[in-house]
A and B are shown apart, each in its own frame.
Chain A
Amino acid sequence: MQNGKTDKIWELLNTVPDPEIPVISVVELGVIRDVIFSENSYIISITPTYSGCPAVKAFQDDIKTCLKENNIENFELKIVYSPTWTTDWMTESTKEKLKKYGISPPSETIICPQCDSEKAELISEFGATACKALYKCKDCLEPFEHFKCI
C-alpha cells in the first residue's frame, strides 16, 4: 500500500487488541499518538502506558503482525514520551467497554462494575498489571479491578 492514506492504517490499528484487556483496541487505549506518511513510509508514533508495562512490547509485535498480514511493509514504529500517556484520553465508550468486561474504568469515584455501587474499599494499590488496583465492593462484596487514573 503506497498511496499514503493514513485512514486505512488507523482502521487496521483499531483491530489490534490490548494484550491484557482484549475488549479494547490499542487505539482506544490511547497509545497510538500519530500516524503520518513520510518518504514513502508510514510512521506510527506510540507512547507507553506505564514505563515498565510488558504489554507495550507485546502490542508493538501485534501491530507489526497485523500490518504485515494486510500487505503493509513500509512502516516504522516510533516511541514517543511526550505528552505523557493519561487515562483522560479514554473515551466514554471505551470506559463502558472496560466496565462491561468487569474492570472499573478510570474515574475519581470508584464504581463497582458488578452492581454500580460507589462504596468500595481498597484491597491493594497494585494489581495483576501496572495499570490496575484491587478493590472490594462493600455492597455486593465482589472484589474487582480498577483502572488507575494517571
Chain B
Amino acid sequence: MDLLKYTLRIADSSIILGQRLSSWCSKGPTLEEDIALSNLSLDLFGQANSLLEYASELDGTKSADDFAFKRNEREFYNLQLTEQLNGHFGDTIVRHFFFSVYSFLFYSKLSNSKDETLAAIAAKSLKEIKYHLTHSKSWVIRLGDGTEESNKRIQKSLNDLWQFTGEFFEMDDIDQKMYKEGIGVNNSSLKSEWDKIVNTTLKESNLIRPEDGHMQSGSKNGMHTEHLGHLLSEMQFLPRAYPDAEW
C-alpha cells in the first residue's frame, strides 16, 4: 500500500536519526549539548512513534513496535543520511543541519496534506523541528566561524556528508502518486529553498559549499550503507532476544 510505505519512509528517518542521536547521551561535549542532543533525539522518537502508530493503523496487523523492532535492514526506508555515524560533534551537527533544513521544509508542506493524520503530525513536528534547525544552524556558524581547527574539521564533515543530500529531493512513483493525490510533498520543489538556507548559513560560517558530485541513492527501496545493519542490531536486540518483554 502506497500510503503505508510513504508513512514508513518519514517515520524511519525519524527513528533512525533519533537512535543515532541517543548515543550522545552522557557523551556530549558539554552538559548543555548533552541535554540538547538527547532532547532532539526524544523529539524524533516521539515523531516516529506517532507515524508508526499511524502505519500500524493502515497496516491493520502489525503494531508500531513490530514496525520498529521486527523489520530487517532492507525493509527500512530512512534517508541514508540519517544512518551515518555520529563521528565527532561537528559531523553530528552537519548531519542534523542538513536534515533539519529539509525536515522544516518538508513538514511545512506536509502540514497541508489532504490526509488529516499526516497533516496533524506534520504540524506538530514542524513546531519541534524549528528548534532543531535553530540549534544546528547556530552550531554550524559557531564551528565554521570558530578557530582554524574547527573550521577545517566541519568543512570536512560537510564534504563527507554532501553526497547524502541528493536523496531529499528525489521523487519516485510512490512520491509522484502521493503528491498527485494531494497527500504527499513534491520533494523536488524543496530544493531551491533548501539551497537558499544552506548557502546563506555556509556563507555566514566561512564554509565552502561542496561541489555536487555523485549522490547516494536507494533508501526509498530499502538500499542502505553498511552502517544501518549495525545500528539495527543494537536497537532491536532486546525485543528480538526477549520477544515477550514488556515496556
Knowing A50-B128, A51-B50, A82-B123 touch, does A126 contact B43 (C-beta < 8 A)? no
Closest chain B residue to A56, Cβ basis:
B46
User: Which residues in A have their C-beta under 8 angstroms from that of B47?
Assistant: 51-52
* B131 in contact (CB, < 8 A): yes
Q: Is the CB of B124 within 8 A of A126?
A: no
Q: Is the CB of B32 within 8 A of A124?
A: yes
CA A30 to CA B124, docked complex, whole Å: 15
CA A127 to CA B31, docked complex, whole Å: 10
CA A36 to CA B119, docked complex, whole Å: 24
* B45 in contact (CB, < 8 A): yes
* A123 in contact (CB, < 8 A): yes
Q: Is the CB of B35 within 8 A of A128?
A: yes
Q: Is the CB of B50 within 8 A of A130?
A: no
Knowing A82-B116, A125-B134, A127-B35 touch, does A50 contact B43 (C-beta < 8 A)? yes
Interface size of B by CB at 8 A reads 28
CA A80 to CA B121, docked complex, whole Å: 10
Knowing A51-B46, A51-B50 touch, does A126 contact B116 (C-beta < 8 A)? no
Closest chain B residue to A134, Cβ basis:
B32
Knowing A81-B117, A125-B36 touch, does A52 contact B134 (C-beta < 8 A)? no
User: Which residues in B have their C-beta under 8 angstroms from that of A85?
Assistant: 124
CA A124 to CA B121, docked complex, whole Å: 26
Q: Is the CB of B42 within 8 A of A52?
A: yes
B118-156 interface (Cβ within 8 A of A)? 119-121, 123-125, 127-128, 131, 134-135
CA A85 to CA B121, docked complex, whole Å: 11
Q: Is the CB of A123 within 8 A of B32?
A: yes
The number of residue pairs between A and B whose CB atoms lie closer than 8 Å in the complex comes to 66
User: Which residues in A have their C-beta under 8 angstroms from that of B35?
Assistant: 124, 126-128
Knowing A126-B32, A126-B35 touch, does A52 contact B124 (C-beta < 8 A)? no
Q: Is the CB of A53 within 8 A of B134?
A: no
Partner of B124, one of A81, A124, A125: A81
Q: Is the CB of B36 within 8 A of A124?
A: yes
User: Which residues in A have their C-beta under 8 angstroms from that of B32?
Assistant: 123-124, 126, 134
User: Which residues in B have their C-beta under 8 angstroms from that of A79?
Assistant: 53
User: Which residues in B have their C-beta under 8 angstroms from that of A84?
Assistant: 120, 123-124, 127
- The contact size tier of chain A is 20 to 34
* A48 in contact (CB, < 8 A): yes
Partner of B119, one of A51, A52, A53, A82: A82
Chain B: minimal CB distance from A106 (Å): 13
Chain A: minimal CB distance from B21 (Å): 11
Closest chain B residue to A132, Cβ basis:
B39
Closest chain A residue to B247, Cβ basis:
A57
CA A124 to CA B37, docked complex, whole Å: 12
* A150 in contact (CB, < 8 A): yes
Lowest 8 A-B CB distances belong to which pairs?
Answer: A52-B46, A51-B46, A81-B120, A82-B120, A52-B42, A124-B32, A126-B36, A126-B39
Interface residues of B (CB under 8 A from A): 32, 35-36, 39-47, 49-50, 53, 116-117, 119-121, 123-125, 127-128, 131, 134-135
29 A-B pairs with C-beta separation under 8 A? A50-B46, A51-B43, A51-B46, A51-B47, A51-B49, A51-B50, A51-B124, A52-B41, A52-B44, A52-B45, A53-B46, A54-B42, A80-B120, A81-B50, A81-B124, A82-B116, A82-B119, A84-B124, A123-B32, A125-B36, A125-B135, A126-B32, A126-B35, A126-B36, A126-B39, A126-B135, A128-B35, A130-B43, A150-B128
